[in-house]
């Protein structure tokens, strides 16, 4: 681990067969002040917390390749990463959460109960951490085009950071994700993802908790068995199964579950991480063979909260894309955006068939 001139942490994760030297250059940029920590405000209609992070308005927006802030530094382009690298992880310059943390020794379950109380005008400091994960030093490309060994390194980085961030005071949930494509709203073409360490349990996970409380603790076991018996299965391995869910909201939606209960990346065995590298890259390559150009997507790694429901909530990948045809996107309009009531444009069984055909084309192209 090293430190950037403004105090942010930077970590390098090397491929198993890396050719890079162990020594890394120091950040030589002039020190810059960090933005103020964001403020959270509670919506009393839902109980949800909204982080007001005004510094994000100053983010770099689709810069030219020679000014890529995630590329290794050069004299003409001093960047966030001083040295060449395989995979690099650093604290976000304009975070939605952190860098402040909760006071050490505070009971996390008491903090959760306090955050779930509804009131008017409630505010809190947006403690936590936001990190950027650079998948490659290349200024363009995608995770799907990387060698399996590199995807394995990325998984190792996710596991390491999940464990480290989960141990920080005030962190309640850790969320690795990737936004890919301008249709999703990316601001950098450089292949990268992010990790958010939230000071609360996210609304989506709270709804999952309610479902488990209604259905019972075997929800994930039963979902996996139900989906593996359907015609929506895309890939079935020894440790993981990928499928289009029965009630898919998006025209392209893929879920992936491990066959045994594991709450987060840190709990995966070496064999599971090896297979996941193969399966995940294969899925992404299939997505990119749906049409003649790459498919925009959000790859969201749902993990169990840090301090509760560890035995109930299983690590789960959910990939979604708004692309409902080669030249059409699904926009969240009135029903979806205002009421959260989704209307599916593509039957999940049709989506699964199209994805299986795309996976076959991707395999043929790789042969």
Active centre residues (catalytic):
192
Beta bridge partners of 175: 196
Distance CA 105, CA 169 (A): 8
Beta strands in 104-199 (DSSP E): 123-125, 129-134, 173-180, 192-198
How many residues can be counted in the chain? 367
Do 154 and 265 contact (CB within 8 A), yes or no? no
Dihedrals phi, psi of 187, to nearest 5 degrees: -110, -5
Whether the CB-CB separation of 125 and 96 falls below 8 Å is answered with: no
Please report which helix (H) or strand (E) contains residue 41, including its range: strand 39-42
Distances in Å between the alpha carbon of 247 and those of 16, 277, 315? 40, 26, 19
Beta strands in 149-278 (DSSP E): 173-180, 192-198, 233-236, 240-243, 252-258
Which tokens hold the place of 159?
Answer: 């596991």
* CB neighbour burial string for 106-124, b if at least 16 within 10 angstroms, e if fewer: eebeebbeebeeeeeebeb
Q: Is the peptide bond before 37 cis (omega within 30 degrees of 0)?
A: no
Helix (H) or strand (E) holding 277: helix 270-287
CA proximity to 67, closest of 56, 77, 80, 54: 77
């Amino acid at each position: 681990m090293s430190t950037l001139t403004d105090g942010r942490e930077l970590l390098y994760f090397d491929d198993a067969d890396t050719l890079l030297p162990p020594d890394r250059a120091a950040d030589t940029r002039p020190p810059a002040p960090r933005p103020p920590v964001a403020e959270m405000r509670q919506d009393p209609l839902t109980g949800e917390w909204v982080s007001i992070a005004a510094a994000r308005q100053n983010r770099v927006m689709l810069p030219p390749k020679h000014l890529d802030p995630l590329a290794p530094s050069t004299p003409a382009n001093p960047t966030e990463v001083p040295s060449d690298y395989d995979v690099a992880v650093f604290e976000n310059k304009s975070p939605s959460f952190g860098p402040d943390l909760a006071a050490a020794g505070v009971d996390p379950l008491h903090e959760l109960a306090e955050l779930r109380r509804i009131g008017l005008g409630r505010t809190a400091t947006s403690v936590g951490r936001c990190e950027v994960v650079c998948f490659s030093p290349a200024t363009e490309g995608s995770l799907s085009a990387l060698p399996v060994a590199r995807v394995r390194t990325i998984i190792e980085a996710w596991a390491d950071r999940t464990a480290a961030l989960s141990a920080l005071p005030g962190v309640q949930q850790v969320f690795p994700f990737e936004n890919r494509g301008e249709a999703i709203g990316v601001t950098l073409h450089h292949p990268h993802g992010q990790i958010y360490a939230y000071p609360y349990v996210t609304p989506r996970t709270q709804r999952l908790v309610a479902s488990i409380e209604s259905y019972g603790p075997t929800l994930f076991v039963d979902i996996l068995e139900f989906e593996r018996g359907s015609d929506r299965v895309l890939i079935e391995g020894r440790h993981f199964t990928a499928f289009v869910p029965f009630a898919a909201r998006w025209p392209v939606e893929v879920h992936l579950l491990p066959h045994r209960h594991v709450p987060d990346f840190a709990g995966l065995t070496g064999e599971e991480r090896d297979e996941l590298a193969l399966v995940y890259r294969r899925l992404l390559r299939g997505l990119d063979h749906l049409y003649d150009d790459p498919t925009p997507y959000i790859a969201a790694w749902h993990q169990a909260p840090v301090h509760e429901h560890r035995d109930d909530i299983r690590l789960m990948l959910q990939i979604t894309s708004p692309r409902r045809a080669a030249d059409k996107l699904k926009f969240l309009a009135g029903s979806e955006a205002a009421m959260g009531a989704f209307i599916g444009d593509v039957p999940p069984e049709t989506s699964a068939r199209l994805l299986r055909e795309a996976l076959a084309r991707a395999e043929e192209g790789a042969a």
